[in-house]
Structure 1
Amino acid sequence: MNQNTTFAPWADPNAKPLITFDNVTKRYGTFTAIEKMNLSIYPREFFALLGPSGCGKTTLMRMLGGFEEVSEGTITIDGQNMKGIPANKRAVNMMFQSYALFPHLTVADNLAFGLKRSDMPKSEIDGRVEEMLRLVQLQKFAKRKPHQLSGGQRQRVALARALAKAPKLLLLDEPLGALDKKLRQETQFELMDIQEKTGTTFVIVTHDQEEAMTMASRIAVMDHGNLIQVDTPDRVYEAPNSVYVADFIGDVNIIEGTVARLENDEAELSWAEGQPSIRALAGSGIDKGASAAFAIRPEKVAIATEDPTDRHNRVQGHVEDIAYLGNISTYYVRLENGTLIKAQTANNRRIARRNITWKDKVWLSWTDTAGIVLQR
C-alpha cells in the first residue's frame, strides 16, 4: 500500500471529497447499468473499482470522464456539477488499456501533443515534457518511436502523457492488462510511486483482485451496478460484509449452516450433524436461527496429524489433493461429511511438511477469531 497509516480522509467528517456520486443512475434503454449510487472519493486517493465483467465499473469510469451522460443523479468533481460538461473541459484525463500512442511520433512528441493543444505557453512545453520523462524514467528513450519500446515502456509513456496536463483526476482502465505477470507486478509499484509523487487522484478499473489489493487506498467491490463494499484492502479481505465479497476477493472456504448462538461480536454456527459447531466473529445483520455462512481464508486454517485439543474449532478429514506453489502449499482436505476445506501453509523450510501427503488422515483447526459468520 502506498498510503501511510495517517492517510484516511474518508474517516474524517470534515474532509472534502474530490468526487461525489449522488444517487447516480445510468440506463441504456430498459437496462440499468448503475443504480442510485452514492460514493465519495478524496484527493490523493488511489481508488480501485473492482468487479467481474459487466458489473458497471467501466460505465462508472466513463461517466466520470464525460464519455457517458448520467441518466439520474449528480456527479461533482472538485465541487463542480459535471452535468453537460464535455470530456475535454474536465480536469480529468483517461489512460486506456490500449495506450493509444501515436506510432509516427517520438516519445517526446507523444508527450507534447496534448500540451501543444492546451493553453500552456509554448516556452514551457519542453520543460514539462522533460519533467514527465524524468517522472517515468524514460529520458534515454525520448527520440524513440512506440514500436521501438517494450510493453512496459509504452505503458509508462501513456501514463506520462496522461499526467502531462496535471489533471486533478486520472482514470485508468485496466492499465496493466497487456503486461505479463512479472512486469505487471513491477509496474504496480511504479504506478504507486508516481501517484504519490504527483499527488494526483487515481481511479483504476480492474478485475484483478491482487492488483487492487496492492495499489489501492480503498476498493469499491461492485456487482450488477451496485456497490457491495467500499473499504480499505485489509478490511475488504479480513472483514468482508457479504459472502459475495468474501468469495470474490482472494481464496476462501465457505461453510453454510444456521446461527445457533449470537453474543456480542461472536457467533456460533451449527453446520453438520456429528460435527462440532463453529465459533467465529459475527458479521453485521445476522440473527439467531437464521441461515448464514462461515468464511475463512485457507492461510488461517492449520493442518496437523495430531488432534489439536486446545482449539474448539477442529475437524478431521483426509488429504485429497496438494497444490505446491513454491512459497506455499495448499492442502485440499475432504471431511467425513463430504465438505472440502482448503488449508494453506508457508514453505519456509527447504523441504517442508513432507510428513503430510495424499490420503493421510489430518486435523484442521482455527482460532475463534480467524473467520467470520456472514448473512446468506
Structure 2
Amino acid sequence: MTSTDAAAVPADFAPWENADEKPLIEFQNVTKRFGDFTAIDNLNLQIYEREFFALLGPSGCGKTTLMRMLAGFETPTEGTILLGGQDMAPIPPNKRATNMMFQSYALFPHLSVADNIAFGLKRDGIPKADIDARVDEMIRLVQLGQFAKRKPHQISGGQRQRVALARSLAKAPKLLLLDEPLGALDKKLRQETQFELMDIQEKTGTTFVIVTHDQEEAMTVASRVAVMDHGKLIQVDTPAGIYENPNSTYVADFIGDVNILEGHAAKSDAGCQITWAEGQPAINSNCGTDLSGKVHFAIRPEKITVSADKPTDKPNVLQGKVHDIAYLGNISTYHVRLSNGQIIKAQSANNRRLSRRSFTWEDDVYLSFTDTAGVVLAE
C-alpha cells in the first residue's frame, strides 16, 4: 500500500473490539528461552492491520526479543507466530513481508539519501523507472526533497531518522518494526518526530510495531500499548485505558506519576470504603468490582485538588502540610505530608501568570478528590 492509496486511520479505529476482525499478527503460546533464561513466557498477543502498536517495558522485559522473533532474527522455542494467517517459522527474514528500522539507522555513509532509500529496491531487481518513482514518493512522504543528493553526514540526526524510515517503507512492507527509533534524538526533536511518525503511519496504512522504554513516547504514538515485565504481557490496552484503568500496581506505577496507598476495602452503599492509615479518614471509592480485603488505591496527582479551605463538596478530603514543590512550567507538583507522615503528590495547572505561588512550603492545605478519581487494585 502506498501513500497515495491509503486513507488516514479513522478516529474510531479499534479493530481489536470487533470479533470478526482477523489479526495481522498473532502470537500463539510463544515461549523463547536462551539456555536456562526464559525471555518470553507463554505469550499470546494479537496485533491488527494499520495499528501503531507499542511494546513498552524496562530493560530486559522481553520486548526486543519479541520484535526480533517477528523479524525472523530469533525463532520461538515453543509456540507459533502468524503473519496474515501464515506461520512465519519456515520463512527467512529477507523473505518476510516485514522490515525493521534500527536505533542506529544503519545508513550507508557513501550513498546519497536517494540511493540509501533505493538500496533494497535495487537488490530486488525492480526496474529503474519503478525504483525512481518509488524513491521520489518516499522522499516526498518524509519531506526530504531538497536533501536527496546529500550524504548522511551532511544532514541532521532527525533527517537521518527520516531517511531510515523512508528506506524501511520503500518496499511497502505489511509490517514495519521500529527498535527505539527516536533514541538518538534530543527531547524536543524527539517529540516533533513522534507526530511525524504518526502522520506517516496514517498516510501509508502500514502496521507499525515500536519497541520503547519511554512511556510518554508509547502513550503519544500508539493505538495500543503492551506493558511487559519478565517476558509476560501485564496489560494490553489503549493509552487512555492503560493510564486511567491500570490492572495492577505495576502498570499504575510504570505509566506516569501516581500515589499508591495500601489499605483494606469493605463494601459500602456508595461503592467501597478503604481504611488505610491510622488517624486518616477512610477513602470512598467506586470499586466497580467485589474487591474486599487487602487492596491498593492508585490515584494520579492531577486528580487531586489542593485548596487552603476545607472543601464541602468532595467525598474525600485529607489535610496536610506542603513539604515540597516542583515547578515544571505548565504544572506545579505539590508534595503534601499528612499527619501520619505519608507524602501525597497533587498537581495543579499553571494556567495564569502568577507573581507568587498559591501555596508555599509549610502551608496547611487540604487535598480533595472524587469517588471515581482513583482505581482500586487487588495487586
Q: TM-score range by the shorter chain?
A: over 0.9
Alpha-carbon spacing, 1:292–1:353, altered in 2? closer, same or farther (3 Å)? farther
Partner in structure 1 of residue 282 of structure 2: 277
Runs of 4+ in 1 over 6 A off after TM superposition: none
What does the per-residue CA deviation read over 1:306-340, in whole Å, with 9 as the maximum and x for residues that have no partner? 01122221100100001001110000000000110
**Matched-pair contact (CA < 8 Å) for 1:267–1:280:** yes
**Aligned: 1:303 with 2:306:** yes
In the alignment, structure 1 segments of 5+ residues that lack a partner are none
In 2, Cα distance between equivalents of 1:316 and 1:173? 46
TM-score of the two chains, using structure 2 as the length reference? 0.96
Code of the aligned partner of 2:337: R
In 1, Cα distance between equivalents of 2:36 and 2:269? 45
% same residue: 71
Q: Out of 205-214 and 113-122, give the one that drifted further.
A: 113-122
In 1, Cα distance between equivalents of 2:46 and 2:264? 36
**Aligned: 1:75 with 2:81:** yes
**Aligned: 1:153 with 2:159:** yes
Q: Report how far residue 184 of structure 1 moved.
A: 0.3
**Matched-pair contact (CA < 8 Å) for 1:25–1:70:** yes
In 1, Cα distance between equivalents of 2:339 and 2:63? 42
Partner in structure 2 of residue 292 of structure 1: 295
**Matched-pair contact (CA < 8 Å) for 1:267–1:282:** yes
**Matched-pair contact (CA < 8 Å) for 1:283–1:375:** no
In 1, Cα distance between equivalents of 2:325 and 2:352? 17
**Matched-pair contact (CA < 8 Å) for 1:262–1:282:** no
In 2, Cα distance between equivalents of 1:119 and 1:13? 40
Alpha-carbon spacing, 1:263–1:201, altered in 2? closer, same or farther (3 Å)? farther
**Aligned: 1:200 with 2:203:** no
Partner in structure 1 of residue 350 of structure 2: 347
In 1, Cα distance between equivalents of 2:288 and 2:91? 42
Partner in structure 2 of residue 84 of structure 1: 90
Residue aligned with 1:373, SS: strand
Instruction: Output aligned runs, 1:226-375, within 5 Å.
Output: 226-261=232-267, 266-282=271-287, 287-288=291-292, 290-351=293-354, 354-375=357-378
Residue aligned with 1:129, SS: helix
Q: Report how far residue 263 of structure 1 moved.
A: 6.7
What does the per-residue CA deviation read over 1:177-218, in whole Å, with 9 as the maximum and x for residues that have no partner? 000000000000000000000000000000001101110000
Code of the aligned partner of 2:187: K
Q: Report how far residue 4 of structure 1 moved.
A: 3.9
Q: Report how far residue 6 of structure 1 moved.
A: 1.8
In 1, Cα distance between equivalents of 2:319 and 2:221? 38
Q: Report how far residue 259 of structure 1 moved.
A: 1.1
Partner in structure 2 of residue 30 of structure 1: 36
Q: Out of 269-278 and 178-187, give the one that drifted further.
A: 269-278
**2:176 counterpart (145, 170, 174):** 170
Q: Out of 243-252 and 274-283, give the one that drifted further.
A: 274-283
**Matched-pair contact (CA < 8 Å) for 1:241–1:283:** no
- Residue correspondences, number: 372
Alpha-carbon spacing, 1:38–1:317, altered in 2? closer, same or farther (3 Å)? same
**2:111 counterpart (105, 109, 113):** 105
What does the per-residue CA deviation read over 1:90-113, in whole Å, with 9 as the maximum and x for residues that have no partner? 000000000000001110110111
Alpha-carbon spacing, 1:102–1:374, altered in 2? closer, same or farther (3 Å)? same
Code of the aligned partner of 1:319: V
Alpha-carbon spacing, 1:310–1:187, altered in 2? closer, same or farther (3 Å)? same
Code of the aligned partner of 1:105: L
**Matched-pair contact (CA < 8 Å) for 2:9–2:205:** no
Instruction: Output aligned runs, 1:176-195, within 5 Å.
Output: 176-195=182-201
Residue aligned with 2:247, SS: coil
In 1, Cα distance between equivalents of 2:225 and 2:101? 19
Residue aligned with 1:326, SS: coil
**2:123 counterpart (117, 120, 138):** 117
Residue aligned with 1:282, SS: coil
